[in-house]
Chain A
Amino acid sequence: MDSTIKKVTSDYVADSMDGELATLNLGPTHPATHGIFQNILKMDGERIHSAEQTIGYIHRAFEKIAERRPYNQITPLTDRLNYCSSPINNLGWDMTVEKLIGIEVPKKVDYLRVIIMELARISDHLVCNSVIGVDTGALTGFTYIFQERERIYEIFEEVCGARLTTNIGRIGGFERDFNAIAYHKIKLFLKDFPKRFADFENLLERNRIFMDRVINAGSISAERALNYGFTGPNLRATGVDYDVRVMNPYSSYQDFDFKVPIGESGDTYDRFMVRQEEIKQSLSIIAQALDKMPAGPFHADVPEFYLPPKEKVYSSMEALIYHFKIVMGEMDIPEGEVYFPVEGGNGELGFYLISDGGRTPYRLHFRRPCFIYYQAYPEMIKGSLLSDAIVTMSSLNVIAGELDA
């Protein structure tokens, strides 16, 4: 361990001796990098000349772990990818396995999934936007917005029992139906949140200081963004309206009427505004889902993959066998390979699953949007000031869990 530290320190000293460029280590532990990744910047005074990135400080080998876990035990693993919006990861995984097996879930499950995923998306965008505020010095927005996130956490707790790493949903549906308290909390959220969100909007959206700080900071053109593989709000801020919910609809998203906001110049202000507008669109989607909620079961009728109710397990032989097989992870998953993209908080989160018919996946690869667009960071900050680089980083919404997996 000591030799690693010495090697890295001596590199800096040598570099700063030749040439006029100063080396600045925006190191893994830094108050402004929200997550642990390192950028070694070569600076000409206050302007950034180039950046060298090091990631992997929280590499937890998800893909290797997934090769050892049965399919229903991988859901808690997917939680920890983008932990600000973990329900989207969970439900995306459930939908991937359902596509592999060929399970058709009832409409009600689709609508419930949409509600949960949109709440998670709101939660993710709230973190990102309030943190952009913090990095420009506006700490008030952060404290007020986190109070709103507590309300979203309460809804998740009512449905699945956990606040952050939710492990929500099962293959084939949900583990329990939403009770009256959950619906009440969702309705209360839809009623109260817009007023408080309006406070946050008034604080930052047309604020002179904020606009001066973030307009033209870290801009990227649409062609470069597409070349890098950007997705999500970062791509939409450059003007490309690629949203997986519209392009490859899943979970009945085609039944909902929502707009996909796009920006123009791909700078920090556009990313901020795209996320603000997406929060409002998500609220509209949740309201539509509550209005049009169909009646029906909250899970598909697939006893081989979905735990049968306990009364049946105690009385019927098949239910007992299915219960045993599912809990021991010996489900009969067919062979095949499937790629299933969902629209995560940061863009196209893809699950590439190769199954060889065994109890664990043969290969599971996560197409992580953060990992792919963070490569563009040196190009985005070239020639800008250090403070612009900080704001660009927080507007990209790089979540360390999704970056390193």
Chain B
Amino acid sequence: MNKDFILSAIEEKFPEVISSILEPHGLLTLEIPVANIKPLIQFLKEDEKTNFIFLTDICGVHYPGKGDKEFAVVYHLHNLEANFRLRLKTFVGRENMHVPSMMDIYSGANWMERETFDFYGILFDGHSNLKRILNVEDMTYFPMRKEYPLEDGTRTDKDDRFFGRDGNDNVTFDDKKALARDNG
């Protein structure tokens, strides 16, 4: 099994579906539109010629400012018998963040998709239990998006000057210490 075999097998069933073919560091990477991703993955798993029975990982990536291609969902598949790995990417924009869920094809996709939802807010249609998995349930934002900071914004006991930031310019160092003391 090699790259040409997979590409011709996909081309036979799903003509003109692949938007881009790359092979970064030896791993075949295909870009597929959202409408075709689920039938394609189902075909790749169930067909004996391709036989990608193992879903290695699903994750999300955020490319801010790219319009319709702002959020990527990346699937890593693995054919264990032929030892061939495949990476599929699909892109969605901020307005329409719906991607079909792979839960009925691979049971392992359950938590992987919940994690992607938790971090980026990508909605997986057909998922039985799409709620936050790692963060607190009542969190209002999706933390892995590039616009949100890493640190907790509500800390009062850190002096931003020592960290090279200049937030809170009008609060002096002594005021902040007093704030920290009062808040315990």
Contacts and interface: CB of A to CB of B under 8 A. Distances in A.
A336 B107 CA distance: 30
A229 B134 contact: no
A245 to B, nearest CB: 13
A207 B71 CA distance: 54
Contact of A352 (B76, B107, B132, B135): B76
Contacts of B167: none
Interface string A212-254: 0000000000001011110000000000101000011000000
A375 B55 CA distance: 14
A229 B108 contact: yes
Interface residues of B, number: 34
Contacts of A56: 132-136
A39 B74 CA distance: 30
A142 to B, nearest CB: 30
A375 B61 contact: no
A376 interface: yes
Contact of A99 (B25, B29, B83): B25
Contact of B24 (A65, A338, A365): A338
Nearest to B144: A64
Contacts of A350: 56-57, 76
A371 interface: yes
A197 B141 CA distance: 50
A38 to B, nearest CB: 12
- Grouping DSSP codes into helix (H, G, I), strand (E, B) and loop, the B interface class, with mixed when no group exceeds half, is mixed
Interface SS of chain A: helix, strand, loop or mixed? mixed
Nearest to B118: A56
Interface residues of A, number: 40
Contacts, number: 86
Given A63-B119, A100-B25, A363 B150 contact: no
A339 B89 CA distance: 14
Interface string A43-78: 000000000000110010101110110000000000
Nearest to B115: A371
Contact of B25 (A65, A336, A348): A336
A376 B111 CA distance: 10
Contacts of A158: none
Interface in A375-405: 375-376, 404-405
Contacts of A247: 80, 83
B100 interface: no
Contact of B134 (A55, A228, A338): A55
A354 interface: yes
Contacts of B83: 247-248
B143 A64 contact: yes
Given A55-B133, A372-B112, A63 B57 contact: no
Given A352-B76, A375-B110, A367 B150 contact: no
A337 interface: yes
Contacts of B115: 371
A352 to B, nearest CB: 6
B57 to A, nearest CB: 4
A340 to B, nearest CB: 9
B88 to A, nearest CB: 12
Nearest to A403: B134
B107 A354 contact: no
A339 B76 contact: yes
B127 to A, nearest CB: 13
Contacts of B132: 56
A227 B134 contact: no
B107 A337 contact: no
B5 interface: no
B56 A59 contact: no
A195 B56 CA distance: 39
Interface of A: 55-56, 59, 61, 63-65, 67-68, 99-100, 224, 226-229, 240, 242, 247-248, 336-339, 341, 348, 350, 352, 354, 362-363, 365, 367, 371-372, 374-376, 404-405
8 contacts: A65-B150, A68-B150, A227-B53, A336-B24, A336-B25, A363-B61, A365-B59, A367-B56
Given A59-B134, A371-B111, A405-B134, 16 more contacts: A56-B132, A61-B143, A61-B150, A64-B150, A99-B25, A224-B107, A228-B106, A228-B108, A247-B80, A247-B83, A339-B76, A341-B56, A348-B56, A350-B56, A363-B61, A404-B134
